[in-house]
Amino acid sequence: MSRLFADDDILDDLQRLIEEDGSSPEPPLPSRRQRPRRKKNQDSLFSLLIQPIAAGILTGVLVSALILSGIWLFQRGRLPVHTPPAGDMSSDFDETFNANSNGDVETNQEASPEYSLPVYAGDSRGLTIELREPAGPHLNASQLYQAQRAATVSITVYAGKTASYGSGMILTPDGYILTCAHVVENKESCTITTEDGSTYQAEQVCMDEQTDLAVVKIPGKNLSSVTFADSDSLIVGDPVYTIGDPLGPQFGGSLSNGIISGLNRQVSSNSYVMNLIQITAAVNSGNSGGPLFNDRGQVIGVVNMKMSSSGFEASIDNMGLSIPSRTVKQIVEELVQTGTIKRAVLGISCHSINETTSRISGMPEGLWVITINEKSDCAAQGILPGDIVTAVNGTPVNSVSRFKELTSGLSPGDRVTLTIWRDPVLSRQLQESQQKDGASSGDDSLPADESAPAESDQEYHFAYYGDIEVQLVDSNQLAKD
């Protein structure tokens, strides 16, 4: 007790001194009789136990809320993402897949088709591409980059006030450059920049829109060049690398890596069906035309597009696509030899009627003929708009990609037998409509739109019409006036 009273006396003396000084803005200290000593002990207990517990609960609630919000936003696809530069040009690839070539970044306005690159006047007929077996030591990413960077190039193209970017690879030491057709088509000039910073004006050697391949020429000498491996030797899971210019020169010579995640992926482009290699390596606008390497530093493909999630609720990531090296060899060598690619076609445009569409529309599965080129043998043999091709040489067909599989390897002049189903009333309506509207006849055997006819109240009355043998024709002949 003596200790307690001594402390109390000291506190009273301190209070008196403070009051006499008058300098403290704080309220006076409580007297000995006013101080709730038990309350002080209770406050200490609260500080030591209750406050930390409350703070922990509050923190847990906030963290949980943030996590749940993040999960909800992720599921809704609303998490903020990096937006490419304004003007990122979308390609004409089939909307069913919503693919995006992303080969060039438009910086002003879309290029006008009135432009074209100067044509190379030299003789390129000796240009060949050798497909080798995968050989040599396995390289890690750093080793591959050091070995192959000098064989890749940056591409800048111009059309009026429009500047665009792409990637490419050096085929030969004297300056033949391989890239994608959509990178250089409808452009008036093309500048090639090599790894050492040297720039060259390029001229067009050849281009094929259907396979999206192009070759240009620069006045090079002793340039580093790539070697090719056969893409037919690839298996899913193989490691791959690509070097290119995502988003243009600012990120020139970027390396990305991944694996082969799929082979023979069929994607439509400008009414054509392409068989491509699917990869997980990052592909962005400006990468088109760049090489796809195996882990030995050999080119196994040409990067030309990626899948985009634009317009879809679901997010799409790591789905790049590449043109196989076997296609590159076949197309490039024929182009430089003849200047064109001969393709065997029927000369019709059509819609695909698959199983689902058949159930909705009541039409048989097959290829629904929309237009027929008057120069084709299909027109000569009496096939009409509105007919449905249900089989080719007796094998059922319900998609353009399936048709391409069944007719691959055929040449102009070869014959196929088409199984035809017909609704006479519908055929007559389509013919009258096209004559009234002046619709142009189809110049290819692939549809401008593979989408199915919309569901309607119209009743169809298709019946087996017959098997008709027709001759495949050269697509170049159909295109001529």
Q: Is residue 247 part of a domain?
A: yes
Judge contact between 107 and 164, C-beta under 8 A: yes
Q: How many CA atoms lie within 13 A of 73 on its CB side?
A: 10
**Domain of residue 106, CATH code:** 2.40.10.120
Judge contact between 278 and 262, C-beta under 8 A: yes
Predicted confidence at residue 4, as pLDDT, reads: 39
pLDDT digits (tens, 9 = 90+) for 153-167: 999 999 988 889 999
The percentage of the chain sitting over the pLDDT mark of 70, rounded to a whole number, equals 68
Cα(466)–Cα(347) distance, integer angstroms = 19
Q: Is residue 203 part of a domain?
A: yes
Q: Is residue 45 part of a domain?
A: no
Q: Is residue 452 part of a domain?
A: yes
Give how far Cα 221 sits from Cα of 14, 150, 173, Å.
96, 13, 6
Of residues 244 and 271, the one with the higher pLDDT is 244
Give how far Cα 408 sits from Cα of 60, 275, 405, Å.
63, 12, 5
Whole-structure pTM value: 0.66
Q: Is residue 68 part of a domain?
A: no
If asked whether residues 383 and 270 sit together in one domain, one would say no
Q: Is residue 57 part of a domain?
A: no
Give how far Cα 3 sits from Cα of 13, 266, 418, Å.
16, 93, 114
CA 254 from centroid of its chain's CA atoms: 18
If asked whether residues 204 and 109 sit together in one domain, one would say yes
Least Cα distance to 91 among 272, 277, 254, 292 occurs for: 272
Lowest-confidence segment of 340-344, 384-388, 445-449 by average pLDDT = 445-449
Cα(367)–Cα(102) distance, integer angstroms = 31
Q: Which domain holds residue 168?
A: 99-338
150 DSSP assignment: G
**382 phi, psi to nearest 5 deg:** 90, 15
Cα(279)–Cα(240) distance, integer angstroms = 8
437 pLDDT exceeds 90?
no
Predicted confidence at residue 426, as pLDDT, reads: 85
Judge contact between 407 and 344, C-beta under 8 A: yes
Predicted confidence at residue 31, as pLDDT, reads: 42
364 pLDDT exceeds 90?
yes
Give how far Cα 325 sits from Cα of 133, 203, 208, 332, 469, Å.
12, 23, 15, 10, 35
Predicted confidence at residue 342, as pLDDT, reads: 84
Q: Is residue 376 part of a domain?
A: yes
Find the DSSP H helices in 238-349.
325-338
Question: Average pLDDT, whole number, for the chain?
Answer: 77
Cα three-residue angle 171-134-284, rounded to 5 degrees? 55
Query: If pLDDT is split at 50, 70 and 90, which confidence band does 311 have?
Result: low
If asked whether residues 311 and 417 sit together in one domain, one would say no
The residue among 317, 338, 359 that closes a domain is 338
Which of the listed ranges 35-39, 89-93, 96-100, 273-277 does the model predict with the highest average pLDDT?
A: 273-277
CA 474 from centroid of its chain's CA atoms: 30
Cβ within 8 Å of residue 387, ≥6 positions away: 368, 369, 420, 421, 422, 427, 465
Which of the listed ranges 39-53, 308-322, 400-414 does the model predict with the highest average pLDDT?
A: 400-414
If asked whether residues 352 and 438 sit together in one domain, one would say yes
Predicted confidence at residue 227, as pLDDT, reads: 96
Which residue type is seen at 198? S
Of residues 273 and 388, the one with the higher pLDDT is 388
Cα(243)–Cα(141) distance, integer angstroms = 11
If asked whether residues 243 and 275 sit together in one domain, one would say yes
Predicted confidence at residue 271, as pLDDT, reads: 58
Predicted confidence at residue 128, as pLDDT, reads: 94
If asked whether residues 148 and 246 sit together in one domain, one would say yes
Cα(151)–Cα(313) distance, integer angstroms = 40
Cα(329)–Cα(315) distance, integer angstroms = 35
Tell me the Ramachandran region of residue 112: left when phi exceeds 0, alpha when psi lies from -120 to 50, beta otherwise: beta
If asked whether residues 377 and 408 sit together in one domain, one would say yes
If asked whether residues 295 and 312 sit together in one domain, one would say yes
Least Cα distance to 229 among 158, 308, 328, 143 occurs for: 328
If asked whether residues 322 and 201 sit together in one domain, one would say yes
Exposure pattern of 430-455 as b/e (b: 16+ CB <10 Å)?
beeebeeeeeebbbbbbbeebebeee
The residue among 323, 338, 353 that closes a domain is 338
State the total domains in the chain.
2
Q: Is residue 92 part of a domain?
A: no
Of residues 446 and 477, the one with the higher pLDDT is 477
Q: Residue 328, SS3?
A: helix
**Domain of residue 389, CATH code:** 2.30.42.10
Lowest-confidence segment of 20-29, 46-55, 377-386 by average pLDDT = 20-29
If asked whether residues 316 and 364 sit together in one domain, one would say no
The residue among 338, 357, 392 that closes a domain is 338
Query: If pLDDT is split at 50, 70 and 90, which confidence band does 5 have?
Result: very low
If asked whether residues 312 and 374 sit together in one domain, one would say no
If asked whether residues 370 and 267 sit together in one domain, one would say no
Tell me how crowded residue 304 is: count the other CB atoms within 10 A of its CB: 35
Predicted confidence at residue 322, as pLDDT, reads: 95
Tokens of 435: 């004559």
Q: Which residues are catalytic?
A: 182, 212, 288
